[in-house]
Every structure is written in C-alpha cells, then in structure tokens.
Chain A
C-alpha cells in the first residue's frame, strides 16, 4: 500500500517537473498514434462510404468480417505486419521493422476495420430521406457520399476517436513491430509494461496517469465538438 502511495507521489513529481524521458515517450506515443489514426481515417472513411452506398454480392458477409475484426487482437495485427516487414517478408527491403514508421503501419492495420465499421454505422444513422433528398437534388455518386459523410460527421468523428483510443492504448503491435527501443520506439504502453516488470512503479504510474489524461482530453474534445 505504501509502495503505491509513494509511486503516485513520485509520478506526480515526474510529471510536474516535466521529466525529459516522460515527455519524450508521451510525444512519441501521440505522434505515432495520431499518424496511424489520420492514415486509417483517409482509408477507412472512403471504404465505409463505398460499402454503404454500393450494392454488391457478399456485402453482408464483408460487413460481418469487418465487425469480427473490431476485436482483432493487437498482437495478431503486430504479427501480420511483422510477417510483411521482417527481413524475409515481401516488404523487408524497406527496413521498417523496429522503426516508428513500422509502428504506424501496425496501428493503422489494427484500427482500419473498427473505423470502417464505425463509418458504416454513422452513415446508416443518416435518414433515408436525407439520402434521397441529396440524390434527388442531382448529386453525383461522389457528391452523395461526401455530402452524407458531412451529415454524419459527429458519428464519424466518434469512430475516429475510438480508433485513436485503440491505437494509443494497444501494446501488442507496438511491442512486436517497434521492439520497445529506448529513445526510438518506446511508447507509453510498452514503457509501462517494461517499467512495471522491472519494479519501477513510480514511472509506470506516471505514464499511466498521462495515458488516462490523454484519453480524457480526447473524449472531452469530442464532447465539446458534439455540443456545438
């Protein structure tokens, strides 16, 4: 009990004193996960739009697969990307293993299904009349998709933030692809895992508090935008 209390006190000291390592790990985490979220959004929202508006065979099955992949274990996403990026893999020559770029790819792969699914849910929440109105006003297919994505923007934003939450909180892919190299690929989650195993509880708690704080800031931001 004493240990925990001590850990929390030390953690607050680390944060307040803007400890260099803590800041560096936090900044890297944010950069990697925000990049992954941005790239995944650019891929997932158009795919979601396409699946929603186009009728094709196997659509129901595809949606089921996407929904299954919401729960894609992070270590599996890591393993998958590892197989492609490792020296013997097809994209091994890029030398992306154990780099932040490799981690971005891993997290992107991890959250795309979730974000496609959230886009689908968001678009199906737009009333049929709205869709008909847009089409009847002479929109092309592309104009219909962009207009309705704008109509569903809050719900889609919710999906983006959910994706970001999954990216920044995952540890499996970051560990497998990044390798937790100090000063290069170490992020909040991998650092917490390591420091805890080494008994360095105060640093772990400090990083944990920061991770929670990020989650709070992001959720608060979403709340503010939706309130507007």
Chain B
C-alpha cells in the first residue's frame, strides 16, 4: 500500500506539489491523469524515492520512506520498478538490458537466463535476446523497458506516460501488457498519463492531478460523469459547464435556471441553491426536423455557431440561449442536414446532467 500524506514538493521557487494526499491499494491499477507539468511524474519519482519531498509523509507498506537512509531506501526500492516516459536502452543486448536489475541483486546466471526468457515471452519479443538494445524501435524498447522492470518481480510497477511517444498499435500492445501484469501477477500498477481515455480503459481508480493538487480520486465512472469541480470536469472532457440556480425541486427532479433558460436535472439540492451543471458533449442529441415530437424534457432550439470535424466525429457549438458543445458522428451530422448557421433542435436527458453545488 502506498500512501501520500500532505506531501509538498518545491523545486526552488516552484511549487510542484501542494499538499498531495492519496492511498493506492495493493493489486490495483491506479492512474494519475493530468495535463503536462501538473506534477504526475514528480509523484511517481517520489514513490520511487528518486526525489526528496519538501514536506509530508510517504508511506510504503507502512514505512515512511522520507526518513530512510540510503541503504534502507535501496531495500524498499527493490520491491518496485519504474518505467520512464522515454525508455533508455543500456549498453549491450536486449538480454543484458533485461538482466540488469537481476544482476544488481546478484541473482545467479542460470536463474537470470530463465527470467529474461520469461519476460521476453510476456512482452511478445521472444528470440530478441541477442539484438542490440540501441537498434530497437520506440515501441519495442518500451516493451523491453517493461520487461526489464518486471524481470525483478516487483510488487509495484510505476509507469510514467508509458505510451506518450508511441503509435496506436504499440500503445494497444502496451495497454494489453499492463492489464495482463495486473491479472496474472497481481502487481500494483501506478500509471501516469495525459490520455483520459487510456486512464478510463486501464484504471481501477483515477486521480486527477491539476496544478500540483489532486482534484479528485475515484473510478472512471465517478470521474467522467460526476466530476467534483470545474477543473476536473474540464480535464476529463466535460465540455459543457453551465452555472445557474435551482428554482424548483420535485422529488429529486430539479429545475435549474440558467440565463433565463430552464433545465431539468436530477439533484436532491433544494431551491435557491447556486449550482454548476456538467454535461458531456456526447450526451446531446439532435432532433430531426420531421421526427415526431416526444414528450422529452430539455428540448432547445438554437443556431449552430461552429462546426469542427474531428476524424469520424463532428464537434458543434450551438447557441440556444444556453451555449452548448456537442459531439456527434459525421454520418448523423449529414443525415440530420446540419450545417454552420442552421437552426436546429437538440435535447438531453435529465440524468445526463451532473449537478454540483457552487459555493459563491
């Protein structure tokens, strides 16, 4: 178990971590999501004791590692392994690279041969033993770096942006490998990424790191659909963030007034409460002109003010008194006859809105 207790980290004048606290449980995949420079890498480096924190406690299996002597640190560190964003090939062959941690531990050569071949099998690079590590592709080297890290059979694997520099095919291989490590060996995996979708695919729990603080810790469902505040919502791609006030509440179905528009949302908060509404852009549905009007709530009419194609999807901004951003497939966009400047109707479910009390 890894615990941070109000950890502060300053590099000179720069406050990199501001009172960061969290707990990582044994055997889970725990992901730090955040923009570049938010402090994710520093957290991983602190866990591996590559940096010294300015203040606060870092407990690994109950031992505060911030007070350990160098020799004791090595003993704790040997239960962990870290893979860096840009893996460094050490001199020699792939075999030598994977064996290096085992050689530091004075494991006998016979055992090393067995473990290296096992690790290569795991990463799907059997037969690569004699290749020069310096000649591998980025994706292959990243896999070798993971093999090098797991050959020592660590309890904890730290991965700093393991797929940041890789193509989609290599990324998928690494992600499958990470899931396999957890399932087959019960390794605790601590991962940092700026890719929210990757976090969602892999993680048991996610911590959102924003500007040196933990914004929220939770499952991907909690983080993506129930962000605790504006910063977290923004980070996880909740593009519709609206501020208003509850004007009525009937058995948990609240009416929220936003600049004169009324929105129905699920919330227990009483009338008069100032609130922020979060809604994912995928949850907005456009209504075809000739379709039979349902009794759906939250139906708005507005003008399309911006159209941005993103691969097979299209992102639209619509001004309907309230301004919203929606993402629909390109096919729907064409079938509905949408275009820049056109008037359209859209709707969303009352349950698609996450209501958070706003403290004024």
Contacts and interface: CB of A to CB of B under 8 A. Distances in A.
B92 to A, nearest CB: 9
Interface in A134-158: 134-141, 143, 147, 150-151, 153
A140 B104 contact: yes
A138 B86 contact: no
B100 A137 contact: yes
A134 B91 contact: no
A147 B97 CA distance: 12
A131 to B, nearest CB: 9
B86 A129 contact: yes
Nearest to A133: B88
Contacts of B86: 129
Give the size range of A's interface with the partner. Answer: 10 to 19
Interface string A40-79: 0000000000000000000000000000000000000000
Contacts of A137: 81, 100-101, 104, 148-149, 152
Contact of A138 (B50, B87, B104): B104
Contacts of A129: 84, 86-88
Contacts of B90: 130, 133-134, 147, 151
Interface in B196-224: none
B105 interface: yes
A143 B104 contact: yes
Q: Taking chain B's interface residues, is the majority helix, strand, or loop, or is none over half, making it mixed? A: mixed
A227 to B, nearest CB: 14
B144 to A, nearest CB: 12
Given A137-B148, A138-B74, A132 B50 contact: yes
B152 A138 contact: yes
B17 to A, nearest CB: 18
B153 to A, nearest CB: 12
B48 interface: yes
B18 interface: no
Interface in B301-330: none
A140 B152 CA distance: 15
B2 to A, nearest CB: 15
A153 B148 CA distance: 22
A138 to B, nearest CB: 4
Contacts of B87: 129, 133
Interface in B143-164: 145, 148-149, 152, 158
A135 B50 contact: yes
Contact of B101 (A127, A138, A140, A151): A138
A136 B82 contact: yes
A189 B50 CA distance: 50
A147 B50 contact: no
8 contacts: A129-B88, A133-B88, A135-B50, A135-B77, A136-B82, A137-B104, A138-B74, A138-B77
Interface of A: 127, 129-130, 132-141, 143, 147, 150-151, 153
Given A129-B84, A133-B84, A134-B100, 15 more contacts: A129-B86, A132-B45, A133-B90, A135-B77, A136-B50, A136-B81, A136-B82, A137-B100, A137-B101, A137-B149, A137-B152, A141-B70, A151-B90, A151-B91, A153-B91
Q: 10 shortest A-B CB distances, which residue pairs?
A: A137-B101, A138-B78, A136-B82, A130-B88, A129-B88, A139-B104, A138-B104, A129-B84, A133-B88, A143-B104
